[in-house]
Amino acid sequence: MKIEKIEWLSKEGSEAEVTVCGENYQIVCFAHPFNLSIGDVIDVPLYAFCTNHIQRSLKHSYRVEKHKNNYSYCITGKLDDNQKGIIRLWDIFIELDAPVPTDVELNDFISFCCDRIDIIL
């Protein structure tokens, strides 16, 4: 995923609001510490903070729904690693901070909501 936009919350504190994008999505993330530039590629999973409502999805398609809060999202993606709780969303990966239900299997589509998505480098 590529960095499209950076809004510094505190340049001295290395805190930024970072927009990452791909062909089918645009996600606003919180990043700290952060030292990358527009156009750089992030190759580590994003981190879903305060994850809730994790469940198997009846819809088998990727979805990103942004809420009014700058960082809050509901997402549907494929379970890529059930041990680490990593979800694939097109060409990016998101690690959940809560366990995936045991009835969800590898490559199942799941949906979840989170209060914030972080970039942790």
Query: Residue for token digits 């590898």?
Result: 106
Query: Where in the sequence is the domain holding 56, given as residue range(s)?
Result: 2-119
The answer to whether the CB of 55 falls within 8 A of the CB of 43 is no
53-82 pLDDT, tens per residue?
Answer: 999 999 999 999 998 867 899 999 999 999
pTM: predicted TM-score of the whole model, two decimal places: 0.93
| Ramachandran area for residue 85 (φ above 0: left; ψ -120 to 50: alpha; else beta) | left
Per-residue model confidence as pLDDT tens digits over 33-58? 999 999 999 999 999 999 999 999 99
**Looking at the 3D structure of the chain, how many domains does it have?**
1
Q: Chain centroid to CA 6: how far?
A: 16
